[in-house]
Copies of this chain bind each other. A is one copy, B any other.
Amino acid sequence: MKTEKSFTNNAMIDQLIENIQKKGNPSVVGLDPTLQMMPGFLKEEFFGKYGRTPEAAGRMFAEFNRRIIDAVAETVPAVKPQIAMYEKYGLPGLQAYDETCRYAAEAGLTVIGDIKRGDISSTAAAYAAHLEGAEIEGERVHTWREDMVTVNPYLGTDGIAPFTEACRAQDRGIFVLVRTSNPSSAELQELELSDGRKLYEAVADLTIQWGENCVGSYGYSDVGAVVGATHRAQGEALRARMPHTFFLVPGYGAQGGTADDVAGFFDRDGLGAIISSSRGITAAYQKDAKYTEHDFAEAAAEAALRMRDALRSALSL
């Protein structure tokens, strides 16, 4: 599937792969803050300063994330902030999302915005600003700071094209929702089509097409796929079906997926997938009595190391 339009140097997927290789760790920390996850001393500080307001939540999340990023930046190649957790708190929440993206990028991490946007063509082009910024009177302004984002396929090619154009023109990447990790995902994604495929396989085949012109020097495309760790056999079959498609794999840890479950999502060289864990890393301090809330960043660092080692072991790296 490599084409003459392939990147050789700057494909975002190449940058992600090189980050993974440098850290020896195909995992990504999901930054999905909740108030429940915040240590009491941060709540006291920020509710004290800003009241029980969205601004307090946003500023607290940004501070929490900075400390988590500092703690894991040596270990992990990427972070994946889930924009919904910030959008919940309105504009101050989204400011924390943006600050988190910028802080992680400055720390040398690949920033995967879990935004799951999808709309008709002209509207999808507006969402593509997450990757390429907005043009204002002939000048490009970077209104957001993600390297890659997740996108929803339900609207078809014209809703994806603005993102794939940004992949090519601005060296960015996307992950198309193919097979999500949640319990109800089968309701639509596993519907059987008259041609014998399941719906998610049809989405997989479209994703292959969408990525054909963005294959980088490791043989993987800037157009990747979201494939949940909770679907082991399907993930392994998709690995064979989509040899040039990199997988973003949620559902590890808190949602039940293990390192053994996801080993078959990788290729023989140990590439082809990046496994995401959120609460399992960022709220690790709440799961083990040996930590106090003041150890939250250290607990996250240790959880990230354990995840790295579990994946290395399962992949025999």
Q: Is A98 an interface residue (CB 8 A)?
A: yes
Q: Nearest CB to that of A134 among chain B residues?
A: B88
Instruction: Select the stretch in A3-11, A18-26, A123-131, A282-290 that faces chain B.
Output: A123-131
Determine the residue in chain B with the shortest Cβ distance to A228: B120
Task: Indicate which residue in B154, B186, B192 contacts A194 across the interface (CB closer than 8 Å).
Answer: B192
- Additional A-B contacts beyond A54-B141, A157-B187 (5; CB < 8 A): A82-B126, A87-B127, A88-B127, A152-B154, A188-B206
Task: Report the minimal beta-carbon distance from A196 to chain B, rounded to whole angstroms.
Answer: 8
Check: A137 CB closer than 8 A to any chain B CB: yes
Query: Quick one: which of B120, B121, B154, B250 contacts A153, CB cutoff 8 A?
Result: B154
Q: Which of A177-185, A214-222, A241-249 contacts B (4 or more CB under 8 A)?
A: A177-185
For A153, list chain B residues within 8 Å (CB).
Answer: 154, 188
Closest chain B residue to A202 by CB distance? B191
When chains A and B are docked, how far (Å) is the Cα of A90 from the Cα of B182? 29
A121 close to B182 (CB less than 8 A): yes
Chain B residues near A191 (CB-CB < 8 A): 193, 199, 202
Query: What sequence of 0s and 1s flags, for each residue 221-240 of chain A, a beta carbon within 8 Å of any chain B beta carbon?
Result: 00000000000000000000
Contact A182 to B141, CB < 8 A, known contacts A127-B88, A199-B199: no
**Stretch touching chain B among A111-119, A265-273, A300-308:** A111-119
- Partner of A143 from B89, B118, B137 at Cβ < 8 Å: B89
Report yes or no: A154 in contact with B90, Cβ–Cβ below 8 A: no
- The distance from the CB of A92 to the nearest CB of chain B, in whole angstroms, is 8
| Chain B residues within an 8 Å CB radius of A184 | 121, 155-159
Instruction: Tell me if A107 counts as interface (CB < 8 A to partner B).
Output: no
B158 touches A89 (CB 8 A): no
